[in-house]
Amino acid sequence: MINPELKKDDKIVLLSMSDFSVDPYTKGIVERKVDFAGSTIYTIKWEDGSNYNLLSDVDKWMMADDFEKKFKKQKKDITEDYSSEIISKNIDILKYFNWKFLQKYLIMVRDSGITNMFGAAPYLYIGKNKIEQEIVYKDLDSDDLEDVLENAEQAREEMIRGTVKYLEANNKEVNVENVQRFLPRFAIKIVENYTILY
Q: How would residue 142 be classed by pLDDT, with cut points 50, 70 and 90?
A: low
As for how many domains the chain has, the answer is: 2
Closest CA to 193 of 103, 87, 89: 87
Q: Is residue 52 part of a domain?
A: yes
Based on the domain organization, do 152 and 193 belong to the same domain?
yes
The Cα–Cα gap between 38 and 35 comes to 7
Question: CB atoms < 10 A from the CB of 22, how many?
Answer: 22
Based on the domain organization, do 54 and 143 belong to the same domain?
no
Domain boundary residue, one of 45, 67, 89: 67
Range of the domain at 55: 11-67
Between residues 94 and 85, which one has the greater pLDDT? 94
Q: Is residue 86 part of a domain?
A: yes
Based on the domain organization, do 132 and 192 belong to the same domain?
yes
Q: What is the pLDDT of residues 53-87, one digit of tens each?
A: 998 888 889 999 988 887 665 544 444 444 555 55
| pLDDT for res 197 | 63
26-43 per-residue burial string, b: 16 or more CB within 10 A, e: under 16? bbbbbeebeeeeeebbbb
Closest CA to 12 of 31, 34, 36: 31
Based on the domain organization, do 146 and 83 belong to the same domain?
yes
Based on the domain organization, do 102 and 148 belong to the same domain?
yes
Handedness of CA 113, 119, 121, 126 (dihedral sign): negative
Q: What is the DSSP letter of 97?
A: S
pLDDT greater than 90 at residue 94: no
